[in-house]
Amino acid sequence: MSAEMDALVASATQKLEALEAALYGLKQVRGQFTTEDGAVTVEVNSEGALVGLKLSEAVTSMAPADVSQLIVWACRQASEDAGAQRSKVVATLNESFAPAPNGAAGTIGGGPDSA
């Protein structure tokens, strides 16, 4: 019985650590994008919120409407980058929760004669 309990505790601990790592990883996600001409660089967090914006001097020669569209487009691209990073973190988490081959891990209860 002790070996079963030890395995259960180890499995739960491993899953908790994987979950904590995923939460940390999600907080670290930053999507970035710079336009081809380098006029606009944006950075978004894991939720897609703008956390950084750099405009080169080139934007001073552009129409304000064009600059705003360029910023919005760059934000969308950076959000897609952040989304891809989030997907990788979640995929790693999902892999850690996948059942082991032959269903060994995560089995609770033991056999019919276990206490």
36, part of any domain:
yes
Angle between helices 64-97 and 2-28 (to 10 degrees): 170
Q: What is the CATH number of the domain that holds 57?
A: 3.30.1310.10
108, part of any domain:
no
91, part of any domain:
yes
Q: Are 38 and 74 in contact (CB under 8 A)?
A: no
All residues at 6 or more sequence positions from 38 whose CB lies less than 8 Å from its CB, including other chains: 56, 58
45, part of any domain:
yes
Q: Is the pLDDT of residue 107 over 70?
A: no
9, part of any domain:
no
- Give the model confidence (pLDDT) of 49-62 as tens digits: 999 999 999 999 99
The domain total for the chain is 1
103, part of any domain:
no
Find the domain containing 86 and state its range: 22-97
7, part of any domain:
no
pTM for the whole structure: 0.73
- Give the model confidence (pLDDT) of 32-52 as tens digits: 999 999 999 999 999 999 999
104, part of any domain:
no
